Every structure is written in structure tokens, then in C-alpha cells.
Amino acid sequence: MPADRVGWHTVDSSQTTILAGSNPEVHMSQSYDRGLVENFGRWTEFSAGMWAWVFHKFTGWVLIGYLFTHIAVLSTAIEGASMYNGTLQGLEALLIVRFMEVGLLAVAVFHILNGVRLLFVDLGLGLDAQDKSFYASLILTGAIAVASIPTFLGGAF
Amino acid sequence: MAEHYTSFSRDDTRWLLQRVTAVFLVGVLAFHFMLLHFVHHAYEITLAGTTARMSQPGYFITMVSFLIAGTFHGVNGVYNALVNQGIEGTPRTIVKYGLIIVSLLLIAQGIRVAWAMTGGQLI
Ligand code: HEM
Ligand code: HEM
């Protein structure tokens, strides 16, 4: 494993401020070897930042996968109204689809909130509150997903 | 814990475009969910309703931009993740052009669908 990939980033001076307060071992221009994050066998050692990164990846992949499926389903519009309406209503009538939609909402909300958080981090804002803002993203995602259940399952029973 | 977790190298145009599209997507994705789950319920969607929305030029342009930005952002994200995993040489080239072709197909199909959804009522 090349050294520069192991710690994700060789920490340069512009990045040392990030969460550095919580780790006295890390100084300017020093890389911190924490192993490959894809090595999920080490998940018990993950920090909040690594969880945020893993969840962001996971939700991103789900969203792009959904987009392909979504366009495929919507393509029934080309065949006309009865095909489109029948397909969409047939899908919505399945309880499993309704639950998957709640899951999709949760995935999208997390990716949006954590994505916005990442954008702020990139701008150098809120660097001291990265753990807190990550936990806030998680809690808000959960709350929004739960609150949307009645709307998403409406008429399904 | 001084890492800045990202799959991108920061001096990269792809990195920048990932962020530019992200900013746009925040708005449209939230709008899309609000509209099609809370304003109109998903189980009540019909082609007539879709056509009514899609035949408004502003909505049509928003959805096609959403399609293009979403595809770019998602596929670029996947590509960067693979590069970050260390994919190099020929596999990297194959993946790159494979993803570009797949994206173009998705966008083409999405536009074809969007056009069909207008029911010829746009313009
Ligand atoms: C379960 C939640 C969702 C529902 C019920 C839904 C429903 C729809 C419907 C009915 C349309 C047709 C346009 C209209 O009727 O106004 C549409 C278009 C579209 N949706 Fe969704 N959508 C959902 C989630 C998403 C997500 C998460 C994405 C992004 C990854 C997305 C991306 C798009 C795009 C790009 C279009 C335009 C398609 C085109 O131009 O051909 N949607 N959606
Ligand atoms: C709605 C607002 C969105 C925001 C704010 C957002 C933000 C971001 C950001 C900042 C990254 C880069 C993370 C990094 O540096 O590693 C990213 C990655 C990604 N996003 Fe999004 N995104 C959004 C929507 C979407 C959508 C609609 C899709 C899918 C169609 C998507 C799929 C991805 C993927 C696949 C990645 C790469 C994940 C990885 O590293 O494996 N995102 N997003």
C-alpha cells in the first residue's frame, strides 16, 4: 500500500486544523497512518469522521443506482399513459416499495446534509464542530425519515 | 484525526465540479422530494400530472438539468472512488470510458423520456 494512500491524505498545513484539536499527536505536515478505510474489518476502530465518509459513499452509490432504475421506470412514459400509470401505481401498491422509498429518503437526506457539511468543511468553516455536525446530520436524517413515514405509507394499507 | 476525509485530490477539476454540482443538487433534490411526496403523493402520480408539470418550460429545464447534474455528480463520484482505491493503467481507462458511455446513454434516455413526458405540449 503506497504510504500516501494509507492515511488518505498526507496532512499539509492547510489541513492540520481539521479536527486537530482532538488529536495532540498530529502536527503540521505529518501524515497519520490509520490504515485503509475500506478495510471494514477494522470498523471498531473507526472514528466519527470515518463513519461519515463511509456513509457518504454508501448513500452516494445508492443514489446513483436509484437514478438508473428511476429513468428505466419513468421510460414507461414513452409507451403511453396506461403503461406509465399502471407501472407506477403497481409499484406504489407494493408495501416493500413504500418501505424502500422511506429508505431512499433517509439515504438522500443524509447525503444532502452530510454533503452540505462537507462543503462547509471544504470552505474551512466549522472545522472544530465536525463531530457535532456529523451527529446532527445523523439525528436530523433519522427524525426526517421517521416524520415522513405517514406520508410515504399513506394509502398503502 | 487530522484527516480530511475525501476521495478526491483537491487540486483537481473533478473535485471542483463535484462540489459545484452538489450545490445545485441540494436545491433540486430537496424540491423533487417535496413535490413528489408531499405536494403530490407518489401513489397518485399519473402521466397527465407529469405532463402538466413537464410541459412547463421552467420545470422541464430544471428536470433535465437535474438529470445531467445528478448523472455527472454520481458517476464522477464513483469514478473518483475507484481512482482513490488505486485503479490504474488500462483498467482505469476502460472504467473511465465505460462510465462516460453509460452516463451519456442515461442522459440521452432521460431526455427522451422527459420529451415524451411533455406529450408534445412544450413550446
Ligand atoms: C421515491 C422518491 C421519488 C419519486 C416518487 C420520484 C418521482 C419522479 C417522477 C414522477 C418524475 C417525472 C416528472 C414529474 O412527474 O414531475 C421524476 C423525474 C425525475 N427524477 Fe424522480 N422521484 C424520486 C426520487 C428521485 C431521486 C432520489 C432522484 C435523484 C437521484 C431523482 C431524479 C429524477 C430526475 C433526474 C428526473 C427527470 C427525469 C427525466 O428528465 O427524464 N428522483 N421523478
Ligand atoms: C443533493 C445534494 C448532494 C450533495 C450536497 C452532495 C455532496 C457530495 C459531496 C461533497 C461529495 C464528495 C465527497 C468526497 O469528497 O469524497 C459527494 C460524493 C458523491 N455523491 Fe453526492 N451530493 C448530492 C447529491 C447526490 C446525488 C443526487 C447522487 C446520485 C445520483 C450523488 C452521488 C454521489 C456519489 C456516488 C459520490 C461519491 C461517493 C464516494 O466517494 O464513493 N450525490 N456528494
Tell me the fold of B10-118.
Answer: 3 helical TM bundles of succinate and fumarate reductases (1.20.1300)
- Determine the distance in angstroms separating the CA of A97 from the nearest CA of chain B, rounded to an integer: 11
Amino acid (1-letter code) at residue B11 = D
Give every CB contact of residue A96 below 8 A, 6+ residues apart in sequence: none
Q: Tell me which DSSP letter residue B99 carries.
A: H
Interface check for B38 against chain A (CB to CB < 8 A): the answer is yes
> Is the pLDDT score of B8 beyond 90?
no
Whether B75 and B97 have beta carbons less than 8 Å apart is answered as: no
Give every CB contact of residue A123 below 8 A, 6+ residues apart in sequence: none
Give me the pLDDT at residue A27, please.
Answer: 38
Amino acid (1-letter code) at residue B72 = F
Residue boundaries of the structural domains of chain A: 1-45, 47-157
Give every CB contact of residue A46 below 8 A, 6+ residues apart in sequence: A37, A54
Give me the pLDDT at residue A153, please.
Answer: 77
Give the tens place of pLDDT for each residue, B16-51.
899 999 999 999 999 998 898 878 888 889 999 999
Give every CB contact of residue A73 below 8 A, 6+ residues apart in sequence: A87, A88, A91
State whether B113 and A26 contact (CB < 8 Å): no
Write out the H or E segment, with its range, that includes residue B66.
Answer: helix B57-84
* Distance in angstroms (rounded) separating the CA atoms of residues A24 and B25: 37
Interface check for A74 against chain B (CB to CB < 8 A): the answer is yes
The winner for highest mean pLDDT among A6-10, B41-45, B101-105 is B101-105
Which protein residue's CA is at the shortest distance from atom 5 of ligand 1? B42
C-alpha cell at B102: 453509460
> Which CATH class for the A47-157 domain?
mainly alpha
**Is the ipTM here above 0.85?**
yes
Interface check for B3 against chain A (CB to CB < 8 A): the answer is yes
State whether B86 and A63 contact (CB < 8 Å): no
Confidence label for A157 from pLDDT (cuts 50, 70 and 90): low
Helix, strand and coil percent figures for chain B, each rounded to 5:
75, 0, 25
Q: Mutation test of the interface with chain B: which of A23, A28, A50, A68, choosing the one with the most B Cβ atoms within 10 A? A: A68
pTM value is 0.83
